[in-house]
Amino acid sequence: MKLYSTLTRRLEELPPPPGPIRMYFCGPTVYQRAHIGNARPFALGMLLRAWLRERGYDATLVHNITDVNDKIYDAAPGASAELAARATAWYIEDTGDLGLGLPDALPKATDAIPSIVSFIEKLVAGGHAYEAGGDVYFSVAGAREYGQLSRQRVEQMEPEEDNGLKRAPQDFALWKATKPGEDTSWDSPWGLGRPGWHIECSAMAEDAFGPVFEIHGGGLDLVFPHHENELAQSRALGHDFARIWMHNGMLTLGGEKMSKSRGNDMTIRGVVDDWGREVALMLLLSGHWRKPLDFNLGTLEQAAAQLETFRNVFRSPSEPVGDWADFEAALEDDFNTPEALAVLHGWRAHELLRRAFAIFGLESLADAEEAPPELAALAEQRRDAREAKDFAEADRLREQIEAAGWEVRDVAEAPGFRLVRRS
Ligand SMILES: [Zn+2]
């Protein structure tokens, strides 16, 4: 099994099963409902874990929650902790509804303060960090390998914000003294304050896995400064830290504007509610994880059409067509899910397809049971009521369908809805 690593700029071979394969993927800063872009690293980590487990690996995924941050203070002055708690619950609910399960652990920065403080104390004691005005900064001057992940020379790097306390412009904050308007703070050897963003992840990853682990993931936008700084902090203590650095391509919304009836809500919640979790997953699988991926009406409709093609295979008689080795080869080569989907399109063997889709959280495609005609008629009436903006009638019909044990989902392709038996 090979995966591309940003650190070495080449494909790296994983150790043979059972590993272990310990994975730490950076999670969201929680202050609103998570954008669909947050679903990409989440889904990548979960899908990769599922595949590694299928391959016989002992695979663990830790996905952190950044629940103290300027954005949270700005979004909820005086009530930042309450907002962060609410948005954490939203994130777990919304990503959970993708149907991929949840990471093995979702540690929160505010629960890791003692480890973070002790990490910073070690950096200060080793001469890698210094206190200034109640803040603590990491000194990049002594970090010989600084810049290795993002392939930059220190002089060329974008400096972090300058408040006149730092010795060098590229030095970055490990601990920040409490400022007016910040309503959460923790005690430390340097006074009341809160952790910087980068140190959270070094501390939480090492809390979970110790000083060395196999895979660190996150969006391409995190290579610098976040991951460069995580690596510098851990290496300063002599820790190897992550061996393979996976950075997923960014999710863009560049295409046509979403139509009103199809929903403009580009949160994970909105996409799952408007399109169904299968469409969201199929769209995420349809792009290679390293490449950019555009979420727009066209790509969502393509994903919906792809799902329908697979459902039709399950509606047709099973034939002994399909070779697991082809599917495996696609995923072993840098976890190439679009190539794996191309392989699945050639298969007709239901059992094999079911096994493959179970890894992708799409085993529901096999349940292509047709709804009774009287329910299809109700769903058509509901669609017409919605189009006429008679939402009360539409809701009444939805309830009637649900009472019969089925769920009606709005989809892009004709007839505009799909009936799924409720689990
Ligand atoms: Zn992180």
What spacing in Å lies between the alpha carbon of 149 and ligand 1's midpoint?
Answer: 14
* Helices marked H in 263-323: 268-275, 277-285, 297-315
Task: Answer for the pair 40, 284: CB distance below 8 angstroms, yes or no.
Answer: yes
What spacing in Å lies between the alpha carbon of 109 and ligand 1's midpoint?
Answer: 10
Alpha carbon distance 91, 109 (integer Å): 15
Name the token pair of 183. 């309503």
Task: Answer for the pair 13, 244: CB distance below 8 angstroms, yes or no.
Answer: no
Sign of CA dihedral 353, 355, 360, 362: positive
What spacing in Å lies between the alpha carbon of 53 and ligand 1's midpoint?
Answer: 24
Q: Among candidates 220, 275, 278, which has minimal Cα distance to 245?
A: 220
What spacing in Å lies between the alpha carbon of 63 and ligand 1's midpoint?
Answer: 9
Write out the chain's pLDDT in tens, 423 residues: 999 999 999 999 999 999 999 999 999 999 999 999 999 999 999 999 999 999 999 999 999 999 999 999 999 999 999 999 999 999 999 999 999 999 999 999 999 999 999 999 999 999 999 999 999 999 999 898 999 999 999 888 877 777 889 999 999 999 999 999 999 999 999 999 999 999 999 999 999 999 999 999 999 999 999 999 999 999 999 999 999 999 999 988 865 445 444 556 789 999 999 899 999 999 999 999 999 999 988 899 999 999 999 998 988 888 999 999 999 999 999 999 999 999 999 999 999 999 999 999 999 998 766 778 899 899 999 999 999 999 999 999 999 999 998 888 887 767 888 887 775
Name the token pair of 351. 């059992």
Neighbour tally for 423: CB within 10 Å: 6
What spacing in Å lies between the alpha carbon of 230 and ligand 1's midpoint?
Answer: 8
Strands (E), 10-98: 10-13, 21-25, 59-63
What spacing in Å lies between the alpha carbon of 155 and ligand 1's midpoint?
Answer: 24
What spacing in Å lies between the alpha carbon of 216 and ligand 1's midpoint?
Answer: 9
Complete domains list, the chain, with CATH = 2-248 (3.40.50.620), 369-423 (no CATH)
What spacing in Å lies between the alpha carbon of 325 and ligand 1's midpoint?
Answer: 35
Q: Among candidates 417, 49, 99, which has minimal Cα distance to 280?
A: 99
How much is the pTM? Answer: 0.86
What spacing in Å lies between the alpha carbon of 417 and ligand 1's midpoint?
Answer: 40
Mode of pairing for the β-strands spanning 212-219 and 193-195: unpaired
What spacing in Å lies between the alpha carbon of 202 and ligand 1's midpoint?
Answer: 8
What spacing in Å lies between the alpha carbon of 148 and ligand 1's midpoint?
Answer: 17
